[in-house]
Amino acid sequence: MKELIDKLEKQHILSKEEYTTLIKNFTPEISEYLFEKARNVRHKYYGHDVYMRGLIEFTNYCKNDCLYCGIRHSNKNADRYRLTKEQILDCCKNGYELGFRTFVLQGGEDDYFTDEIIVDIVKSIKQSYPDCAVTLSIGEKSYESYLAYFNAGADRYLLRHETADNEHYHKLHPHNLSPENRKRCLFDLKKIGYQVGCGFMVGSPYQTAENLADDMLFIKKLQPDMVGIGPFIAQHDTPFHDKENGTLELTLFMLGLLRLTVPNALIPSTTALGTIAPNGRELGILAGANVVMPNLSPVSVRKKYLLYDNKICTGDEAAECRFCMQNRMKSIGYNVVISRGDAKQLGVRN
């Protein structure tokens, strides 16, 4: 097992069988061995810096019906909301004053927000905050739409691939959604010139170790700038309400493998990880992650953007999360920095 981790550290890739062996057989001791190597690589590129992204959850309307997600179209209990352009710009203003230099606009797939409206919002944010990066996370769109947002000034795009295995994809999504289109979107985004983020849930229903190995190989092929992963957490109003949650241990192990597989990637320690364990986000950083994404959404809507149960930080003001995060990172020897936090290029040391 240790030899496989040594090999991954040197070559940044393993075969599907090798990844699978590690994922099936890891122990606390092997995990520690992996995390130490993951931290070394992370320190080489990013030192002890932790990048912050201000997350603005601007609509929880969604036309899709992903089986795991609390804001799926069929969830009649979801209390739907949309932020206005003015509210979104207010979040950015608040965020800018708190030191955020990246704003992530995330929402369900909501046709109310036409390309024209998104373009207008992106342009306004970039005009007011030219030193900030704008990241969009609004789902599957056409090449033309992605191009229009990019030309308006959007810098980055997050679209988790969810699972690289087509059969597994169909177990998590209704049949009008296809893994082929999801992947098409990711390659279109790269082609246009976005910094692209993909990712997946750890421990999603029906996931196998082989699926996770395929996720690593897919990521190697896509070469994303960012990879977001977090544990699957059941949401009580979804078809997966009685499925088991992903574990802390496996999520951390996958974070370590990711860091060695894509050494210079921007990897968040996610809110979902902080939800399954009180110090989950700190442990994520110690396993190789280098980004945190505190929420900038108005407190009035936070309890409505519930993709999964027991989500943390839903009662806290942006400033509280900002400083809470700073303290959490400090407690483990890391510093949140005021910076756009772009990816470092391979081979360039800090």
Per-residue tokens: 55? 């997350």
Nearer to ligand 5AD, 68 or 129 (CB): 68
**Interface stretch with ligand FES, choices 43-51, 147-155, 209-217, 312-320 (CB under 6 A):** 312-320
Integer Cα distance of 290 and 256 in angstroms: 11
Helix, strand, or coil (residue 162): strand
* Residue of 46, 105, 134 whose CA lies nearest to 336: 46
Q: Is 66 in the site for ligand FES (CB under 6 A)?
A: no
320 binding ligand FES? (CB under 6 A):
yes
User: Residue count at the site for ligand FES (CB under 6 A)?
Assistant: 7
CA–CA dist 23, 16 (Å, integer)? 11
Residue number, 22 or 321, with CB nearest to ligand FES: 321
Query: How many residues sit in the footprint of ligand 5AD (CB under 6 A)?
Result: 12
Q: Which stretch binds ligand FES (CB under 6 A): 46-54, 170-178, 319-327, 341-349?
A: 319-327
**x-or-dash string of contact with ligand 5AD, 145-174, rule CB under 6 A:** ---------------x-x------------
Of the residues 219, 272, 301, 321, which one makes contact with ligand 5AD according to CB under 6 A: 272
Which structure tokens are listed for 183?
A: 């992947």
Residue pointed to by tokens 């230099």: 101
Minimum CB–partner distance for residue 338 and ligand 5AD (Å) = 25
- How far is residue 25 from each of residues 163, 209, 257, measured CA to CA in Å? 21, 10, 14
Contacts of 20 (CB under 8 A, 6+ apart): 209, 210, 212, 213
Residue 237 interaction partner, one of ligand 5AD, ligand FES, none, beta carbon < 5-8 Å per kind: none
For ligand 5AD, which stretch binds (CB under 6 A), given 148-156, 171-179, 230-238, 291-299?
A: 230-238
Residue in this structure with the two tokens 């700073």, named with its chain if needed: 326
Whole-number Å distance between alpha carbons of 163 and 153: 29
In the list ligand FES, ligand 5AD, none, the entry touching 324 (Cβ below 5 to 8 angstroms by class) is ligand FES
298 binds ligand FES (CB under 6 A): no
Closest approach of Cβ 69 to ligand 5AD, in Å? 4
From the centroid of its chain, how far is CA 180?
20
Please classify residue 327 by burial: count the beta carbons closer than 10 Å to its beta carbon, then call 0-12 exposed, 13-18 middle and 19+ buried: exposed
Distances (CA, A) of 10 to 38, 127, 183, 223: 12, 43, 28, 18
Contact, 157 vs 135, CB < 8 A?
A: yes
Tokens of 62: 């969604």
Residue 317 contacts ligand FES per CB under 6 A: no
Binding partner of 294, given ligand 5AD, ligand FES, none, CB within 5-8 angstroms per partner class: ligand FES
Residues that bind ligand 5AD (CB under 6 A): 68-69, 160, 162, 201, 230, 232-233, 235, 272, 307-308
Binding site for ligand FES (CB under 6 A): 294, 313, 316, 320-321, 324-325
